[in-house]
């Protein structure tokens, strides 16, 4: 509102207010002009939700409930630079919060957007959040969550859950289904604490979750394969001085003289021992024959033991390989719960292993209960174990792997960590 006041016209006092002129009209006008398949992009929807939520949050902070949030009361205001601004209008039904609580059977609003408690004459700030959830559903799918006459709409808002948005618009994720579903919860206490919290959750839900990257392996554990290290850098030979050459020559001569002396002494010692060696040879031959026979016997026993050891090693290796194949599959069995209790994606997995196939039964976040994906079975071929589900007409590829006492589940661009309950 730009200005307000009163003027005297023809002798009568006429009150007035001045608001910005929105040439583009309201969101209702925009929705009427577009085709059925022309839905708002997630980025534009998040921007719209943020602006409308900020306006409603400001009103709530002042103790005011709008009571009639709908597409016809959100106006598009062009700006010189950047995207258009969303203006929330028509506070004609607005009431202070204490009066809204005590309104009894004073039912006002637009039936297609009215929260369950509003049909019963009780209005709270969360009622505006519910109406904004209906508007977001409409912008993402091109249709309202409930349709029909007033009685049919009343019954639907009070008793029925809307079809998940991703069923109508397959480009939407389960996280977006969960956020919109919570804003449309039947009881005000089951919705987000504030309308701003709803806008924050929606902004997070449209962001892709980055897949964590494994840290680089430490250098001492890296497998570099059979790579020959480069030779050390060559250094040019040092030139010897004349004095050093003379010293080396003298040392070489001394080595030769000492060698000749040692050879001469050894020859003399050999001659003196020749007779003693002749006597010892006969005894050595007799003893050697016995030693050879004993050695042959020992070698035969050793060969037999070696054969037994080899057979034992082969059997143990085969058993170890079989155990290594079965162990990872068995580790997947159990009832797994997402470590993040506030996750908007997969909340739990029931996995069984019958020795041949692994059966996976996932659940994802929905409101008021988790969505059941059904069960799929597949033969275990290694880690990560991959299995495919079809949810709301879309193929969902899960890759499941063990991580210590936990399991990791990759669902497209989303990665979740689970504990065994």
Q: Residue 234 to residues 227, 241, 264: CA-CA distances in angstroms?
A: 20, 22, 44
Please identify which of the residues 36, 38, 44, 68 carries the catalytic annotation: 68
178 SS3 class: helix
Token pair listed for 18? 């001045």
Annotated catalytic, 68?
Answer: yes
> How distant, in Å, are the alpha carbons of 89, 271, 318 from that of 1?
9, 129, 82
Q: How many angstroms separate the CA atoms of 385 and 381, rounded? A: 7
Fill in the DSSP letter of residue 221: G
Both structure tokens of 210: 């980055």
- Alpha carbon distance, N-terminus to C-terminus of the chain: 56
52 vs 27, 87, 187, 250, 291, CA distance in Å?
12, 7, 22, 102, 102
Of 402, 410, 237, residue with least CA distance to 329: 402
Give the span between the Cα atoms of 130 and 181, in whole angstroms. 10
Residue partners of 65: CB distance under 8 A and separation at least 6: 59, 94, 95, 96, 97, 100, 123, 124, 125, 127, 128
3-state secondary structure of 392: coil
Beta strands, E only, 272-345: 334-338
Token pair, residue 48, equals 């719209």
Cis status of the peptide bond prior to 115, with omega within 30 of 0: no
65 with 127: CB under 8 angstroms? yes
Please state, as a whole number, how many other Cβ atoms lie within 10 Å of the Cβ of residue 228: 5
Distances (CA, A) of 141 to 20, 40, 51, 203, 293: 30, 8, 20, 17, 95
CA torsion sign for 165, 167, 172, 174 is positive
Peptide bond into 384 cis (omega under 30): yes
Catalytic residue IDs: 68
């Amino acid at each position: 509102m730009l200005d307000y006041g009163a003027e005297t016209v023809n002798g009568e006092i006429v009150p007035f207010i001045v608001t910005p002129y929105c040439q583009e009209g309201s969101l209702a006008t925009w929705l009427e002009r577009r085709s059925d398949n022309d839905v708002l992009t997630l980025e534009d929807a998040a921007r719209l939700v943020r602006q409308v939520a900020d306006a409603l949050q400001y009103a709530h902070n002042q103790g005011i409930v709008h009571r009639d949030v709908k597409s016809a009361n959100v106006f598009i205001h062009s700006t010189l630079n950047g995207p258009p601004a969303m203006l929330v209008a028509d506070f004609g039904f607005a009431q202070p919060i204490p009066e809204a609580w005590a309104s009894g059977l004073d039912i006002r609003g637009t039936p297609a957007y009215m929260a369950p408690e509003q049909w019963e004459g009780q209005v709270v700030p969360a009622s505006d959040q519910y109406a904004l959830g209906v508007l977001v559903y409409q912008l993402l799918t091109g249709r309202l969550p409930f349709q029909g006459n007033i009685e049919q709409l009343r019954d639907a808002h009070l008793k029925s859950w809307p079809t998940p948005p991703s069923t109508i618009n397959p480009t939407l994720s389960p996280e977006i289904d969960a956020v919109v579903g919570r804003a449309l919860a039947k009881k005000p206490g089951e919705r987000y604490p504030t309308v701003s919290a709803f806008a924050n959750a929606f902004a997070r839900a449209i962001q892709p979750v980055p897949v964590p990257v494994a840290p680089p392996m430490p250098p001492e554990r890296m497998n570099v394969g059979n790579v020959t290290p480069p030779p050390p850098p060559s250094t040019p030979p040092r030139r010897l001085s004349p004095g050093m050459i003379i010293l080396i020559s003298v040392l070489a001569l001394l080595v030769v003289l000492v060698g000749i002396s040692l050879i001469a002494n050894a020859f003399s010692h050999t001659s003196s021992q020749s007779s003693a060696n002749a006597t010892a040879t006969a005894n050595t031959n007799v003893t050697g024959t016995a030693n050879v026979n004993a050695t042959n016997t020992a070698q035969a026993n050793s060969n037999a033991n070696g054969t037994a050891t080899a057979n034992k090693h082969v059997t143990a290796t085969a058993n170890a390989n079989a155990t290594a194949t079965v162990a990872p599959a068995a580790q997947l069995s159990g009832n797994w719960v997402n470590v993040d209790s506030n996750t908007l994606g997969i909340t739990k997995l029931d996995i069984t292993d019958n020795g041949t196939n692994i059966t996976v039964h996932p659940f994802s976040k929905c409101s008021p209960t988790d969505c059941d994906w059904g069960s799929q079975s597949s033969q275990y071929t290694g880690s990560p174990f991959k299995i495919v589900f079809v949810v709301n007409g879309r193929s969902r590829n899960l890759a499941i792997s063990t991580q210590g006492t936990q399991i990791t589940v990759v669902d497209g661009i989303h990665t979740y960590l689970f504990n065994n309950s």
